[in-house]
Structure 1
Amino acid sequence: MWDNFLLPGERVDGTGFGQLKLIQKPEEFCYGVDAVLLADFAAKAARGGSAVMKAVDLGTGTGIIPLILSHKTSLNQIYAVEVQQPSFERACRNVELNGLKERIVVVREDVLHVETNLSHWKGTFDLVTTNPPYMIGGAGLTNGNSAKTTARHETTAGLEDFIRTAASLLRDKGQLFMVHRPSRLVDICEACRRYKVEPKELRFVSPNKNTKPNILLIRCVKGGNRELKLLEPLYVYEEDGSRYTEELINIYER
């Protein structure tokens, strides 16, 4: 029934969020729990005040974060920026597939050039989300698949570029939500303070209670005061690995 939307090698998956569906191409990239956690983290802020009206996701991939935000919030203006042409086209089709063209706009652009090519966006957003590539440049093992390499490694824009761009897009007291690796925490905090988006909340995520954190969630406020709150850790699976924790299950149910 999805033939009009699918290209060779693609499939349609349920997301677990209402009736939302997602077109993915497994040989290129599929979203993970980090994107789900980030979207839920940001959604709490969007639900918390009517002032949050306009959001943008930098490096959106196939659009999973804007889709989840559309399900969890009443945001009526959600923009999504993606540099890779296949992912950009897939995100556009995901928006159409889910009947969300009135709420989500996908733009093909490199984060490196957003400030120049989309200068009219400067200072207009209440909320920015981003799940940037985790690996520095050529660090680690690069995948022969260029789409996976771009998604996982800083092949174009780096961590600082994402933070600088987010800072330029946010209005005063606007909020940046990011998911990344704990190993980059110092880099994140240093760059955020330099571009005047002050880290306010930090949450570490572990596979279970017996393992070290492998993900961090951070909320920053443009022009915010200097005070960082460490939130309770989040665990993805029960200790025996048999199922998601109640908190993860609740994330899908809210």
Structure 2
Amino acid sequence: MSEFKELWPDGPIFSYSERGFALGMDSVLLSDFADRGNFSRAADLGCGTGFLLVSLLYNNPKLSAVGAEINKSAALSAEENIRANSFDDRCEIICSDLRNYKEIFAPGSFDLVLCNPPYFKKGCGYSASDEKTKIAREDLHLDLDEICFCASYICKNRGSFCMVMRTERLSETICTLSKHRLEPKRLRFIAKDEKTAPKLFLIEARLNAGVGLSVLPNLYLYDKNGDYSPEYRRIYHLEV
């Protein structure tokens, strides 16, 4: 039986089931970046065990959502997490290959689409021995171009697509988003501290939006003393 724990004090509960994947920092930061409280319907492409959905549904009582996940055990864990928080009347988990997105989603039906995609291209040298980790790490089933095409297909006009990616793929990401009429609007780099170069970035693009990108201040995880930064503590609901 799954063991549920609060994600933060007095917050939603979540099960870190062995069937699914570990909750990563990148998902937590993406949730905070995307959650601006003015969306009515959201989709998570490759939802894993459902953290992004649980977090968004908890913070936005009027939001409805759909999560798609190819891994059966992760999808089952996502369903458990949704039910445990009584969000099952507002959220559906679909276990399917995202390459079948036209069968899963209606076109233009979401004003927010999220994705924490595999960071590495297939065969790039960052492979893993087990299939589950390999799928999470490499774009074996869906590459960046296909993800952006899917997002543009299911986004409403001027709808938002938010994702996280490694900095070495920034140029590729911006070009691919633009190719599919997803205009980059917000960009934020994530760095360990002020002395360390960013390794990740968060980006929001909007379908058929005008040109104009806002580069936000860097998000630092640690301060100059090596302690968690105030923003990290806010995002993780730690006492400041």
Alignment TM class, shorter chain as reference:
over 0.9
Instruction: Select the residue among 222, 231, 248 that pairs with 2:216.
Output: 231
Aligned residue number for residue 29 of structure 2: 37
CA contact (8 A) 1:163 1:191 kept: yes
Aligned counterparts of 2:139 and 2:101: Cα–Cα separation in 1: 16
Aligned residue number for residue 166 of structure 1: 151
Counterpart of 2:87 in structure 1: which amino acid?
Answer: L
Aligned residue number for residue 235 of structure 2: 251
**Cα distance, 1:18 vs. partner?**
3.4
Aligned counterparts of 1:25 and 1:93: Cα–Cα separation in 2: 10
TM-score (norm 1): 0.88
TM-score (norm 2): 0.93
Identity of aligned residues (%): 27
**Cα distance, 1:61 vs. partner?**
0.3
Instruction: Select the residue among 87, 94, 116 that pairs with 1:100.
Output: 87
Instruction: Select the residue among 49, 53, 61 that pairs with 1:62.
Output: 49
CA spacing shift, 1:122–1:252, aligned 2, 3 Å = same
Aligned counterparts of 1:201 and 1:17: Cα–Cα separation in 2: 30
SS in 1 for 2:35: helix
Count of aligned residue pairs for this structure pair: 238
1:4-19 to 2 correspondence within 5 Å? 6=2, 12-16=4-8, 18-19=10-11
CA contact (8 A) 2:112 2:155 kept: yes
Detail structure 1 runs of 4+ shifted over 4 Å in the superposition: none
**Cα distance, 1:12 vs. partner?**
3.7
SS in 2 for 1:178: strand
**Cα distance, 1:208 vs. partner?**
1.4
Residue 152 in 1 paired to residue 144 in 2?
A: no
Residue 118 in 1 paired to residue 104 in 2?
A: yes
Aligned counterparts of 1:92 and 1:101: Cα–Cα separation in 2: 8
Aligned residue number for residue 77 of structure 1: 64
Aligned counterparts of 1:17 and 1:129: Cα–Cα separation in 2: 25
Aligned counterparts of 1:27 and 1:155: Cα–Cα separation in 2: 20
Unaligned runs of 5+ in 2: none
**Cα distance, 1:206 vs. partner?**
0.4
